[in-house]
Amino acid sequence: MTASTLTITRRPARRRRHNGLLYAGVAAVVIYCLAPFYWMLVSSLRRSSDIFDTSLLPSPVSFENYTRVFDPAQGFGRALLNSLVVAGVTTVAALLLATFTAYAMARLEFRFKRLILTLIIATSMFPVVSIVVPLLKLFTDIGWINTYQSMIVPSMSFALPLAVWNLTTFFRQMPDELEHAAMVDGCTRGQAFRKIIIPLAAPGIFTTAIITFIAAWNEFLIALSMTNRPEMQTAPVAISKFTGATTWETPFGSQMAAGVVVTIPLVIMVLLFQRRIVAGLTAGAAK
Amino acid sequence: MSHTRVPPPSPDADVVTGAPAVPARTERPAPRGGRRTVRATSGTAGMAALLVSPTLLVLAVVVLYPTVMALHESLYGPKGLDPETGFISDTEPFVGLQNYADILGEAGERFWNAFWNTTFFTVVTVTLETVIGVAMALIMHKAFRGRGFVRAGILIPWAVPTAISGLLWRWIFNSDGVANALLGRQILWTSEGFQAKLAVIVAEVWKTAPFIGLLVLAGLQVIPKEVYEAARIDGAGRARRFWHVTLPLVKPALLVAVLFRCMDALRMFDLPYILIGAQKNSVETLSMLAQNEASNVRFGPASAYAVILFVYVFLIALAFVRLLGTDLVGDTGTPERSRRFGRRRKSAEVTA
Amino acid sequence: MKTRSTRAIPSAAVLTVGGLLLTACGSSGDGGSGQAGPASFEGRGPISYVAAKDTTGTIQPLIDRWNKQHPDEKVTFIQLPTDADAQRQQMIQNAETKSDAYTVLSLDVVWTSEFAAHQWIDRLPEKQFPLGRMLEPVVETAKYRDGLYAVPHSSDGGMLYYRTDLLKKAGVKAPPKTWAEMKDACAKVQKLPEGKGVGCYAGQFQKYEGLTVNFSEAVHSAGGVVTGPDGKPDVDTPEAKQGLDFLVGSLKDGTIPKKAVTYLEEDGRQAFQNGKLVFLRNWPYVYSHAQKSDVRGKFAVAPLPGLNGPGSSSLGGHNLAVSSFAKNKATALDFIKFMTSEQSTETLLKEASLAPPYASLYDDQQLIDQYPYLPVLKESIVRAVPRPRVVPYGDVTASIQREAYAALTGSKSSADALKALQADLQKSVAQ
C-alpha cells in the first residue's frame, strides 16, 4: 500500500508524513467504530456458559448462538424478510415523496416555504411513545393490525422529515446553471431535474436512503404494537422475543448474534450500492 | 407556529444578473462567470403545491392525528379508583391544565431533573458527535485504498439497532465487564452517579457520530473539486481551507444533521432505559418520564409530558431555523435584490 | 398526585355516595360491583393464549394437545417479548383498544390487582378450580378483594444457595437460619485459605423489580410488612428498619460486595458459579445451571434466613386470566382449566422446570429426584409473603426501588428512606 502511494508523490517526505497521518486517522476511525462491534461479534461467538468472559478471543469458538438465532421456531428468517419489506418500502416511498417536496423547497418560489419546512420538521418531534396508542386505536378500527402498511405508514413520520430536509440541502447545493442550461437545450423541468440534478446529488440521495432505511429497519415500538402474529413481526421485534431457558436468563449471546445478523446485510448492501453509485458518478463526471 | 412571508417575486425577477459579493452566495460554489439566471417562476405556486402536498398529507395522517389526540388527552386526569367497588372508573376526569400544573409543581423536582438530564445529554453528545463526525467525514473524504470498506464500516455503529447496542454497552459496562477490565478499576457504571451519565454519553456518541459523519461526507462529495483547487492555487493553508472553504460549503448538510441529532437526542429514551435502567435519577430523560406515566396507565399526564417535550424540541428547532435560516432553509429562489433588502426583515418575521 | 385529584373529588364523592346508597338499598350485601359475581362465560370457538415467548418448547406441545382434542376451539399462541414490562404494556394496549385479539392472558403475579381493578380481566368462578389443592400463598396472588381473577399457573420462590464444601471446611454444620449465623459462617469461611477474596452474600440489588423482591424479603424476614393486611402501607416501623438495615449494613461492612448494587439474577448466579460467593439469594432456575458449573456438587439450597429465624420469600410466577374484551369465553375458561391442571403443570415442571402451584407435586419422590430443591422450594413458597398487592403496583414498586436504592447506595439513611417510602406509598394507594 505504502509502496504504491510513494511512487506517485512529488514531495516524498511531506507526503509520507501526510499519508502517515491519514492512515493513523483512518485507523482511529476504524477502531472507534469497530471495537465495540468487535466485542459484539466476540460475545456472539462465545458459548452461553462463557458470556461473562472478558478475553479478547472466544475460546472455544462456538456457533451455538447463531444456530439458536436461525432455529426455525424463532422465525428469524421471516422476520428479516419482513424488516426488509417494511424498511424498503418506507425508504422508497419516503424518498419518492421527499424528492418532489425537496425539489420544490430547493428550486421553486412559493409562499409559506419556511412554514412548511418547519411544519415538516415539527412532525418528527413528537415522542413515538405518545403517538403509538392513538395510532393503535386508529389502525384497529380500520383493520390494519398485522399488516405491512400499519408499520410502513407510521415509519413515514420519522423517515419523511429526515428525507425532505436532507434532500433539500443537497438539491440546493447543485448549481442551478446546469439545470437551466439543460432547460435551454430543450429539456423540460422534469427532465432537467432527472438527468442533471439527481445524478449530481447522488451521494446525498444515497446517504439519505441509507439513513432512512436504517432508521426504519431498527424501528421497534410501532412494529411491536401493530403486530401480534409471529409471521408479521420484524427483526427487532423478533430479537426482543429471544429468551434464555428461563425468564431470568438474558440470552445475551443470541441477542448479540442477532445484532450481527441484522447489521451485516446492511453493510454489505451499502458496499454493493456504493460501488455502483461511485462508478456512476465518475462516469458522469468524465463527460 | 412560525409565520413566514416570503416576498413575492418582483415582476422583473426573471433575469437577475450580477450580484457577485453577497456573503451568502460566496459560500456556495461561485457560479462561473458570475452570471446567474433565475428559473421561470410562472406557475410555480401550483407546481409547488402539487409537489409538497403528498408529503404533508402523509404527515398529517401519521403525526397530526395522533398529536391532536395527545393534546386532547393531556387535559384529562387519571381514572380514579372507586374505593367502594374496587374498580377503576371507566372515564377519565377532565382536569384542564392540571396535568401541566402538576408536572411543573408537585412533580417539579423530578421534571426539572429530567429536563436538565435531557439538556445535558443533548448538548454534550451532539457537540461530541459533531466534532467526531466531521473528523470522520474529513478522513473518509480523502482518497485511500479500501475507502469503500472503511466507509461501510463506519456505518456499523449507526446500523446496530439501539436496543442491541444498549445491551452491548450494558455488558461492556457491567461491573465485571470489559470496560472495568481495561481500566483496571471497579467502577459501578450502571448504578447512580456521574459515571452512569458518562456511560450513556459514550454509548450514544459511538452510535450516532457516524450519522453526522455520513451526512457531512455526502456534503463534501458534492463540492466540486475546482473549488478546492482554486483555494489551493490562492495559497490557502490546510487550516484556512478547512475554515473558509470546506466548512462553509458543508454547513447546510452539517446543520441539518446536527438539527436532527438534537431532536433525536432530546427525545432520547431506549439507550438510558436499557443501558442504565428505568427510574435512575442520574439518567432519567423527559421521554422516560412520559413513558413511565403511560406505563402506569396515566395517559393524561403522559401526554402532558409529551406535549411539554414537544414544545421544548420545537422551540429548539425553531431557534435553529431562525438563527441559521438562510443556510438551513435557503431562499435560493428569491431574487437577489429582494433577498438582500429583505433579509433582515424576513428573519425578523420568522417568529414562534 | 394530590392536587391532580382535587378536580376529581366531587365526582368521586358522588360515586361513593352512589355506592353507599346502592349497598344500603341492595339486599345482596355483596358490596359494590367489585364483589359482583363472576362474569358469564359464553361462546365457543378459536381463542388466543398470550404469554412471554417460550423457548423451552413445552407450551406449544401442550397447546397442540388441546387443539387436537378441541378442533373447533383452537388456541393460537401469541408470544410477547421476554421483558415483563413490555408484556404488560402490550396487554394494556390491547385492553385500551378493547381489542379481542387476546383471550387468555398469562399475568405476572403482581399484576392481578391492577388488571382486575381496571376490569381488563373477568372475575372467575372460584368453585370450578381445585384451589384447595394449591399452595395457599400462591392462590392469594390470583385474588383481588376476595374475588378470583386468575388461576395460578406457575409459582416461584427465593432460596438460599450455599457452598457446602466451604461451610464444611470452616466447621459450620448446618446452613444458617438467621442473618447473624450467616455472617458468622462467612467470617469463618473467609479465614480459610480457599475463602480468600470470596464474598459472603448477594441477592438482586440493582434498581429494578428484583430490588423490590429483595427489599420485601428483608422487611418480611425481620417481622415487618410493606403493606398491612388491610392493604394500607405500614413500612415506617422498627421491624422494617431492621430488615433494611441488614442490607445496608451488609453492604457497608462488605458482607455484600459493593458491586452487588448492580446485580440482576444473572450477575449473582455468575459470581456464585465462579466461586466468588458463599451465599446467594436466587430463584430455583440457578440450580440446574450451577450443577453444570465449577461448583457442581459443592452447593445446596436452604430456606432464606431472617432476623430471628427463617425468613420469608417473595413470590414469583404467573397466573392465567381471561381478557374482558375477548370472545369465546367458555372456551377460554376450559382452556385455563386445562393449562392449570395438575397434569399440565407437572409437564411444565418436568420439561421447563416451572414451579407448580399444586402442593402434592412437591412431595413426589420421582420429581424430587429430578429436582432435589423441591422440598426447600415448597417451604419457601408456603412461608412466602407476596409483594404488595395493590392496584397502582407500578407506582408502589417504583417508590420501593427509589427509596431502597437510595439507602443501599448510601445517599439516604435507612430511617429517612423508610419515612419517605411510607409517605409515597400512602399517596399512591390513596389515589
Assign B25 a pLDDT band (cuts: 50, 70, 90): very low
Q: Do C86 and A224 touch (CB under 8 A)?
A: yes
Say if residue C96's pLDDT is above 80. yes
Residues of B in contact with C94 (CB under 8 A): none
Q: Between vectors from CA A110 to CA A116 and to CA A122, what angle results, nearest 5°?
A: 5
At B1 the pLDDT is: 35
User: Mind listing the pLDDT tens digit for each residue in A174-194?
Assistant: 777 777 888 888 888 788 888
Report whether C322 contacts C122 (CB < 8 A): yes
| C256 or B234, higher pLDDT | C256
Query: Which of A103, A111, A135 is closest to A226 using CA atoms?
Result: A135
Report whether C280 contacts C269 (CB < 8 A): yes
Distance from CA of A181 to the nearest CA of C (A): 57
| B327 or C362, higher pLDDT | C362
At C146 the pLDDT is: 87
At A277 the pLDDT is: 57
| B127 or B26, higher pLDDT | B127
What Rg value do the Cα atoms of chain A yield, rounded? 24
User: Mind listing the pLDDT tens digit for each residue in B100-153?
Assistant: 998 998 878 999 999 999 999 999 999 999 999 999 998 888 877 787 788 888
Instruction: List B residues 320-339 in contact with A (Cβ-Cβ < 8 A).
Output: 321, 325, 328-334
Say if residue B271's pLDDT is above 50. yes
CB-neighbour burial class of residue B348 (10 A; exposed 0-12, middle 13-18, buried 19+): exposed
User: Testing the interface with C: which of B84, B95, B190 to mutate, by most C Cβ within 10 A?
Assistant: B84
Q: What is the mean pLDDT of residues C91-105?
A: 91
Query: Which of B99, B91, B43 is closest to B75 using CA atoms?
Result: B99
For residue C163, report the phi and psi dihedrals to the nearest 5 degrees: -85, 105
Say if residue A237's pLDDT is above 60. yes
Residues of B in contact with A15 (CB under 8 A): none
Instruction: Tell me which residue has cell 414469583.
Output: C316
User: Other C-beta atoms within 10 Å of C130: how many?
Assistant: 13
Q: Which candidate from B62, B145, B169 shows the least CB-CB separation from A153? A: B62
For residue C233, report the phi and psi dihedrals to the nearest 5 degrees: -65, 140
At A36 the pLDDT is: 93
Q: Do B63 and A138 touch (CB under 8 A)?
A: no
Half-sphere exposure of C286 (CA within 13 A, CB side): 29
Distance between CA atoms of C186 and C253, rounded to whole angstroms?
12
Helix ranges (H only) for chain A are 2-7, 12-44, 64-69, 76-107, 113-123, 128-141, 149-173, 176-184, 189-192, 198-200, 202-217, 221-226, 235-240, 252-286
Give the helix, strand, coil percentages of chain B, each rounded to 5: 65, 0, 30
| Domains, in order of start, for chain C | 34-156+316-382 (3.40.190.10), 159-314+389-430 (3.40.190.10)
Name the DSSP class of C300.
E
| A279 or B43, higher pLDDT | B43
Say if residue B331's pLDDT is above 60. no
Buried residues in C281-306 as b, exposed as e (16+ CB within 10 A): bbbbbbbebbeebebeebbbbbbbbb
| A100 or B65, higher pLDDT | A100
User: Mind listing the pLDDT tens digit for each residue in A28-44?
Assistant: 888 988 999 999 999 99
C55 touches chain A (CB under 8 A): yes
Name the DSSP class of C309.
S
User: Other C-beta atoms within 10 Å of C317: how many?
Assistant: 24
Q: What is the mean pLDDT of residues A52-63?
A: 82
At A283 the pLDDT is: 44
Distance between CA atoms of A138 and A130, rounded to whole angstroms?
14
Is the Cα dihedral C15, C16, C21, C23 positive or negative? positive
Q: What is the CATH number of domain B117-349?
A: 1.10.3720.10
User: Mind listing the pLDDT tens digit for each residue in B49-60?
Assistant: 888 888 888 888
DSSP bridge pairs for A35 = none
Helix ranges (H only) for A234-251 are 235-240
**Is ipTM > 0.85 here?**
no
User: Testing the interface with C: which of B90, B110, B191 to mutate, by most C Cβ within 10 A?
Assistant: B191
Q: What is the mean pLDDT of residues B249-258?
A: 87
**Cβ-based neighbours of A35, under 8 Å, separated by 6 or more:** none
In three-state secondary structure terms, C224 is: coil
Say if residue B43's pLDDT is above 80. no
- Give the domain ranges of chain B: 117-349
Say if residue B5's pLDDT is above 60. no
Q: Which candidate from B41, B150, B317 shows the least CB-CB separation from A109? A: B41
Q: Do A126 and B70 touch (CB under 8 A)?
A: yes
At B200 the pLDDT is: 96
Percent of chain A residues topping a pLDDT of 70: 89
Half-sphere exposure of A287 (CA within 13 A, CB side): 7
- Give the domain ranges of chain A: 2-65, 75-241
Assign A245 a pLDDT band (cuts: 50, 70, 90): low
Distance between CA atoms of B245 and C284, rounded to whole angstroms?
66
At B339 the pLDDT is: 36
Averaged pLDDT score across all residues of chain C:
88
| CATH class of the region A75-241 | mainly alpha
Instruction: Tell me which residue has cell 413470590.
Output: C315
Query: Which of C410, C24, C398, C386 is closest to C216 using CA atoms?
Result: C386
At C61 the pLDDT is: 94
Distance between CA atoms of B43 and B26, rounded to whole angstroms?
29
User: Other C-beta atoms within 10 Å of A184: how many?
Assistant: 10
The CA-based dihedral angle spanning residues C177, C182, C184, C187, taken in that order and rounded to the nearest 10 degrees: 160
At C74 the pLDDT is: 96
DSSP-derived pairing of the beta strands C104-108 and C199-202: unpaired
Distance between CA atoms of C14 and C104, rounded to whole angstroms?
35
Cell numbers placing C94: 390491547
State the pTM of this model: 0.84
Q: What is the mean pLDDT of residues C4-25?
A: 34
Say if residue A207's pLDDT is above 60. yes
Distance from CA of B175 to the nearest CA of A (A): 11
A136 touches chain C (CB under 8 A): yes
Q: Which candidate from B163, B249, B269 shows the least CB-CB separation from A236? A: B163
Query: Which of A256, C275, A248 is closest to B178 using CA atoms?
Result: A256
Say if residue C157's pLDDT is above 70. yes
Assign C252 a pLDDT band (cuts: 50, 70, 90): very high
Q: Indicate the residue type of A67.
A: T
Say if residue C17's pLDDT is above 70. no
Cell numbers placing A55: 478475553
Helix ranges (H only) for C234-328 are 238-253, 265-273, 285-291
Q: Which candidate from B49, B223, B294 shows the least CB-CB separation from A129? A: B294
In three-state secondary structure terms, B316 is: helix
Chains that touch A (3 or more CB pairs under 8 A): B, C
Percent of chain C residues topping a pLDDT of 70: 90
Q: What is the mean pLDDT of residues C201-205?
A: 96
At C216 the pLDDT is: 96
Distance from CA of B281 to the nearest CA of A (A): 20
User: Mind listing the pLDDT tens digit for each residue in B144-186?
Assistant: 778 778 888 888 898 888 888 998 999 899 988 899 988 988 8
Percent of chain A residues topping a pLDDT of 90: 18
DSSP bridge pairs for C51 = C79
| B186 or A248, higher pLDDT | B186
B303 touches chain A (CB under 8 A): yes
For residue B44, report the phi and psi dihedrals to the nearest 5 degrees: -70, -35
Q: What is the mean pLDDT of residues B305-334?
A: 74
At C238 the pLDDT is: 96
Report whether A112 contacts B44 (CB < 8 A): no
Lowest mean pLDDT among B19-33, B82-96, C170-184, C370-384: B19-33
Q: Do C82 and A52 touch (CB under 8 A)?
A: no
Query: Which of C206, C207, C186 is closest to C198 using CA atoms?
Result: C186
User: Mind listing the pLDDT tens digit for each residue in C313-359?
Assistant: 999 999 999 999 999 999 999 999 999 999 999 999 998 889 999 99
Instruction: Tell me which residue has cell 381473577.
Output: C149
Say if residue B346's pLDDT is above 80. no
Query: Which of C80, C84, C33, C98 is closest to C323 using CA atoms?
Result: C98
At A264 the pLDDT is: 87
